[in-house]
Amino acid sequence: MKRFLPKSLLGQLTFALGLTLFIVQGVNGFLAYSIEKDRVETALVNTLSLRLVAASRFADDPLVVNIDPRPTARDAEGRRPPRRPGPNRRRFANTDFRQSDTFDILPVDERRPELEERLAENLRDNGRTFSDIRVVERPVSADPVSQRFLLRFAMRRGLSERDVPKTVAIAGISEGEGWEIVRAPVRDTHQHFGPVYPLLRAAALTLLLSFILWLVLRRLTGPLAQLTRQTERFAASPGQYEPIQPRGPEDVQRLITAHNAMEARIGAMLEEKDVMLGAIGHDLKTPLAALRVRVEGVEDEVARARMVDSIEDITLTLDEILALARVGKSNELPERTDLAALAASVAEEFEDTGEKVTLDASRVVAPVHLTWLKRGLRNLVSNALRYGGNASVWIGKEGDEAILRVEDSGPGIPEDRIAEMLQPFTRGEASRNRSTGGAGLGLTLARAVAEQHGGTLALSNRPEGGLRAEFRLPL
């Protein structure tokens, strides 16, 4: 279910408000439908009550019809004009009174006890007494009496067949001997209050209001989305700082202004760090070169060799520190490169020095910074050879990621130290010897290269023994 929900702030706010509006409109539609249904039932009960009360009064005071002896006026074509009740006469349309010994209930009838209670109360309020009451709803097709008076009603009103009610309510009361029975058509609720129309109306209003809300909320979430993209770009390339124009509500503008100030300060600190590291590298390499020249004059060969090794260690460590500081500072765009060819060139470098590196690569083309990625892969292979004695490189693709995997058969890394090994100056063993312990910057530099490409460096122990290091780079 979660994957079908919107993930952005704009989408979630629009969805939440739209769903709320739909529920509110749906509840309003249901209440309106209930009110309309109650109105129709009330009208039906009043009609049945009126006819039963009229039946009693007509029985006590028979209706006298006066016939006018004057000839009926006709129009030019000889037709009689329609009869219209006078101002003091009331007409009970579709009234049908029946006296019967029994109240027959057919199999198709539906008993309506709720109407019986309302009709009984109405009749008692109007002075009718009875000992039993029944109300059923019957299809017109199963009731010949209803068919006759509804047919007359339709002809008199000029209605079509679809406008004629499909069911009729039959009510009967008894005082112990016989039943007084009346009928009334059951009207459907108005189509605007039916179960489907309110939902359609709610859906239409929801779509309209959601679109308006989307336009309003986009003014709020648009600057936030721009701020998110700027933050992602700055995280990938901290040295490239471009302030964004504050826009949107006042609170969002203040947030963007504060973010611009933070990026400017971070950028200034990074620039200051690069300048400082460059100065350190320059200031230290010059005396180291002079010291190397002086060391050559030492007569003791053993002491001289140790001094030269120490100077070389310091020089290589400085080179790695400066390289780590420069990762991601290049303004050059990444080049589309065949990763299999890149891995083959790295493997050849180690084979030229007598190291054994196996390669299993399929053609994968990805945009990369060639020099930096080669250096990062070289560091992984070097670590595998140093600690595992062998290195196996695999190049392939999984989903939308390019995989550069380096495996060895060494002792691996304790699970609780895997994250620690990616930190600067952390070694796999405590030796200060560069040939076994290194400077502790190889994996840190490899991780920085992966992050420069928007990817990750993952370390894990192999089930069969050894360490697996993977570059996962987006294609």
8 Å CB contact between 386 and 436: yes
Distant-in-sequence, close-in-space partners of 203: CB < 8 Å, separation ≥ 6: 22
Q: Which two tokens stand for residue 335?
A: 């080049």
Averaged pLDDT, 408-434: 67
Q: CA 47, 52, 55, 60: dihedral to nearest 10 degrees?
A: -130
Q: What is the C-alpha to C-alpha distance for residues 207 and 401, in angstroms, rounded to an integer?
A: 38
- Write down the residue that tokens 């709320």 correspond to: 20
Instruction: Write the burial class of residue 181 (CB in 10 Å: 0-12 exposed, 13-18 middle, 19+ buried).
Output: buried
Of residues 281 and 262, more confidently modeled: 262
* Helical H segments across 61-143, by residue range: 113-125
- The confidence score (pLDDT) of residue 195 equals 62
- The confidence score (pLDDT) of residue 91 equals 37
Question: DSSP E strands: which ranges in 28-102?
Answer: 97-100
What are the sequence ranges of the domains in the chain? 2-60+94-193, 237-326, 332-474
Q: Which CATH number fits domain 237-326: 3.90.320, 1.10.287, 1.10.1410, 3.40.50?
A: 1.10.287
- The confidence score (pLDDT) of residue 16 equals 80
Which amino acid would we find at residue 400?
D
pLDDT tens-digit series, residues 311-320: 777 777 777 6
Q: Among candidates 357, 350, 320, 361, which has minimal Cα distance to 449?
A: 320
- The confidence score (pLDDT) of residue 213 equals 80
pLDDT tens-digit series, residues 3-48: 666 767 677 777 788 888 888 877 887 787 788 888 888 888 888 8
> Biggest alpha carbon distance in the chain?
158
8 Å CB contact between 387 and 428: yes
DSSP assignment of 25-42 equals HHHHHHHHHHHHHHHHHH
Question: In the structure, what pLDDT confidence band is assigned to residue 58 with cuts at 50, 70 and 90?
Answer: low
Q: Which two tokens stand for residue 438?
A: 């290194």
Q: What is the C-alpha to C-alpha distance for residues 166 and 168, in angstroms, rounded to an integer?
A: 7
Query: Which fold would CATH assign to domain 332-474?
Result: Heat Shock Protein 90 (3.30.565)
Q: Strand 357-361 and strand 391-398: pairing?
A: parallel
pLDDT of 292 over the 60 cut: yes
- The confidence score (pLDDT) of residue 82 equals 55
